[in-house]
Amino acid sequence: MNTRRTKLSQSQNFLRNMELVEQLVQKSSLTSDDMVLEIGPGKGIITNALAKRCKRVIAIEADKKLHDNLRDKFSTFANVENLHEDFLKFPLPKYDYKVFSNIPFNVTADIVKKLLDSGNAPKDSYLIIQKEAAAKYGGLKMETLFSTLHKPWFAFSIVHKFQKSDFSPRPAVDTVLLRIEKLENPLIDERNAEAFRDFVAFGFSSMKTNLKRGYKNVFGHVQFLRLATDIGFSAEAKPTDLTFEQWLAIFEYFSKNVESFRKAKTRGAFAKLTTQQKSLQKIHRTRTARNWKNAR
């Protein structure tokens, strides 16, 4: 038995109301010209609505039993392709595509990161996920490291709030439909993308202190105080206290007015932080797998 696939199927809450699903699909940006990717189609209620609206649907299901049922159910649909795959190992399309999915809650982070950090991110994504996760990734309550790093290229919004009775089994948490739209005109030029990621990662890696101390070797003391006054944030602010617009303004100042030797202090911060996160994720996955094995 494939432990990952078993866990994926057990972590999903399936939508029950076909009428609601069709309304959400109709209100989305999906058109008859679109190729749409569905991750974890489950029993196929979303697949059916997508097939009626889109040119092509690729439904990727990790659970063998669910996949076999989907294959039989959509055998007469010429525009539906059912794949028995682990999405996290699935190569994303090289052409334009969109995503509409009710994804397994326990791999939300891995799925979102894969979609947004790939070489060809979807033009538009609609993901049914936990409300708290949506707020984290989209910076909807306060900016996070993830939201700040991604907002130059993506717009995040909640387009629907579900009732717990919309699902079977009923989830224990609040669930929303998060839209992640790829910006046609990025807010950061590609030439400055690496510098922006390093700058933001450098600031967030100092979460235990405030930005003034975190950037003390990047901005001069008087320089930082003037910057805080001009942009409108507290000199004692932490990274999550700033709005995304304030992060953009600070980075613009950093790019134009900070000496090269000071800019070099932030270089490589994103790669370093990414390595640390991967190490922590590996430890977490190992512990999760061990706990799962012991619980069986």
Give pLDDT tens digits for 227-252: 999 999 999 999 999 999 999 999 99
Specify the 3-state DSSP secondary structure of 168. Answer: strand
pLDDT for residue 125 is more than 90:
yes
Distance CA 101, CA 45 (A): 11
Q: What is the pTM of this model?
A: 0.89
pLDDT for residue 262 is more than 60:
yes
pLDDT (0 to 100) of residue 279: 67
E-strand ranges in the chain read: 14-15, 35-39, 56-61, 80-84, 98-102, 124-130, 154-161, 167-168, 175-182
pLDDT (0 to 100) of residue 282: 59
Q: What are the C-alpha distances in Å from 246 to residues 200, 201, 212, 219?
A: 12, 15, 14, 16
CB 31 within 8 A of CB 59: no
Distance CA 241, CA 144 (A): 9
What tens digit of pLDDT does each residue of 193-222 get? 999 999 999 999 865 679 999 999 999 999
Mean pLDDT of 170-190: 96
